[in-house]
Amino acid sequence: KEMIEQLDQSLMDGRYPIRLRNDEAVFELEQDRVFNDNWVFIGHESEIPEPGDYARRYIGGSDPFIFTRDEDGNVQVLFDSCGHRGTKLCRAEQGNTSHFRCPYHGWTYNNKGELVGVTFKHEAYKEIDPDEWKLPKPAKVDSYAGLVFATMNPDSPSLEEHLGDMKWYIDMNFKFPTNGMEVYGEPYRYVLPVDWKQPCENFGGDDYHISTTHQSAIEGGLISEIWHWDEGPYGGLAERVHTHFEELPEMGHSFAAGMIGEDYSPFYGYDEEIHDCFSAENISQEQYDLARRSVVNIGTIFPNLSFIQVGKGTGSNDSGFLCLRQWQPRAPGETELWSWVLVPKDAPEEQKRKINNVALSSFTPAGNWEQDDLAVWDGITEAAGSTVAKRQGVETSYEMGLGNMSNTEIHDEWPGPGVCYNNHYQEGYGRWFHRRWQEEITKEPLPEGAE
């Protein structure tokens, strides 16, 4: 309890108690106060383009929902549990249907969640009020730039407010293509022996790990040597910038970008034939210019959605790509990763396939990048669950970029929101992420008896 209550102070001192990454009581609190009380990602609109399209989704990793488009074309998010005994109605990962028929006793719901059929209705019930047995829904569902979110909390601020200045960076990726992005294929899913907060934070701006964790992949030529930011052939050219929301501590979102000279791999290194998919039509000229020159940009939207746009120079060196990644908490120290590949809607099919292949060869369990990351993250979980961590309150270092450290030069001309640093060795993204976490966890008094 004390550990959580003093977390903001610890972080400002550059320290974080490792135990918070693998603890039963913490996990329970997170499910309730972080995931049920905040806007969480459900899916991309392009996954359900037609009436009747549906996909199975989860809030907080374990609450099952059906993400569907009803017959009127509206997006619906329905609790996937029959009103009769509660079993799951939706048995396929995705598909198209106008109705969901319960496999247990046959109650049938339309894709607005209304109960429209009861088996042997007259013999079994004589009268039954279907309005009483509609499928529950989240308190609010809304979308931004094609990304659909839901919250179980009726008092949540609007989605726009929740995203805040992060919208500027979402636009840079999702509105850069004139007609938007679409999901290619189904999301890739697998379970990691890692606390969900770890990858959220890593994808919020941990550039520090790249030259060590990914060293062998760089040296082996699996990923480009431009990732040696300061030493590689492009090190001198790079106007390397990195931003996070020092001025918006309440948000906990973060964003980091790497910009490079005009000539290197513009438009994220997509093939020239699809460059006309992109324009400044839906974004500002500044966003367009940055997007055009960005060799990588990543971010995390609190609580558990990250995105990564990587320019040409990874994997096969064939193309850039964009992935959405949701870190779904499954158990203390265990996370299910959901990873979507997005492609410009207007690109020809063979280009979409190519982008997808490059993304999969980078960020899947067999991907050039992912393997390295997984190899180091699981050690954190082990230490976090140890008796030593519990008894001695072991803390880990978050000092980088704090006032008394040297790397805090501000990049004055950065046109986007948030504070931007010239130096990419910063850990503010992590400190603010965990402070937002603390704010959510301590909104109400912590339960008595929490150790």
For ligand FES, which is the closer residue by CB, 38 or 110?
110
**Residue closer to Fe ion, measured from CB, 70 or 373:** 373
Residue ranges that bind ligand FES, judged by CB under 6 A: 82, 84-85, 87, 102, 104-107
Instruction: Answer yes or no: are the C-beta atoms of 138 and 151 closer than 8 Å.
Output: yes
Distance CA 93, CA 58 (A): 12
Instruction: Using DSSP, state whether 192 is helix, strand or coil.
Output: strand
Least Å from the CB of residue 112 to ligand FES = 18
112 contact choice in ligand FES, Fe ion, none (CB below 5 to 8 Å, kind-dependent): none
Q: Which option in ligand FES, Fe ion, none does residue 91 bind, with CB closer than 5 to 8 A by kind?
A: none
Task: Give the pair of three-digit tokens for residue 359.
Answer: 């993304």
Looking only at the bridges linking them, the beta strands covering 94-96 and 75-79 are unpaired
If the CB atoms of residues 104 and 208 are measured against Fe ion, the closer one turns out to be 208
CB of 103 to ligand FES, least distance (A): 8
3-class DSSP assignment, residue 203: helix
Chain centroid, CA 49 distance in Å: 21
Q: Give whichever of 142 and 373 is closer to Fe ion, judged by the CB atom.
A: 373
Least separation in angstroms between residue 124's CB and ligand FES is 10
16 or 109: whose CB is closer to ligand FES?
A: 109
Least distance in angstroms from the C-beta of 81 to ligand FES: 9
From residue 364 to residue 403, the character string flagging contacts with Fe ion as x (rule: CB under 5 A) and all else as - is ---------x------------------------------
CB contact at 8 A, 341 and 325: no
Residues 6 or more apart from 395 whose CB is under 8 A from it?
10, 15, 16, 17, 18
Residue 107 binding partner per list Fe ion, ligand FES, none, with a CB distance cut-off of 5 to 8 Å that depends on partner kind = ligand FES
Classify 44 as helix, strand or coil: strand
* 373 interface partner picked from ligand FES, Fe ion, none, CB below 5 to 8 A per type: Fe ion
Q: Which is nearer to ligand FES, 64 or 261 (CB)?
A: 64
Output 79 or 307, the one with its CB closest to ligand FES: 79
- CB-closest chain residue to Fe ion: 373
Determine if the peptide bond prior to 303 is cis (ω within 30°).
Answer: yes
Task: State the DSSP code for 6.
Answer: T
330 binds, among Fe ion, ligand FES, none (CB under 5 to 8 A by kind): none
Minimum separation from the CB atom of position 31 to ligand FES (A)? 25
Tell me the C-alpha distance between 239 and 132, whole Å.
60
Which residue number, 106 or 235, has a Cβ lying nearer to ligand FES?
A: 106
Environment class of 126 (CB within 10 Å of its CB; exposed 0-12, middle 13-18, buried 19+)? exposed
Nearest distance in Å: CB 52, ligand FES = 21
Residue 427 binding: pick among ligand FES, Fe ion, none (C-beta 5-8 Å cut-off by kind): none
Estimate the crossing angle of helix 166-174 against helix 285-293, to 10 degrees: 60
Check residue 30 and report its DSSP letter. I
List the single partner that 105 binds among ligand FES, Fe ion, none, CB under 5 to 8 Å by kind.
ligand FES
Q: What angle do CA 279, 164, 244 make, to 5 degrees?
A: 85
CA 134 to chain CA centroid, nearest Å: 30
Cβ of residue 214: shortest distance to Fe ion, in angstroms?
6
Q: Are 169 and 299 in contact (CB under 8 A)?
A: yes
- Position 47, amino acid: E
Gyration radius (Cα) of the chain, Å: 23
H/E stretch holding 151: strand 147-151
Which residue, 223 or 248, has its beta carbon nearer to Fe ion? 223
Q: C-beta of 106: minimal distance to ligand FES in Å?
A: 6
Task: Indicate which of ligand FES, Fe ion, none lies near residue 87 (CB less than 5 to 8 Å, by partner kind).
Answer: ligand FES
For the bound state, the minimum distance from the C-beta of residue 102 to ligand FES, rounded and expressed in Å, comes to 3
Closest to ligand FES by CB, 120 or 445: 120
CB of 199 to Fe ion, least distance (A): 9
For residue 233, the partner it binds in Fe ion, ligand FES, none, with Cβ less than 5 to 8 A by kind, is: none
Structure tokens at 433: 């992420």
Structural tokens at position 42: 């459900």
Residue 425 binds which entry of Fe ion, ligand FES, none, CB below 5-8 Å type-dependent: none
Joined tokens for residue 405: 């450290």
Q: Enumerate binding residues for Fe ion (CB under 5 A).
A: 373
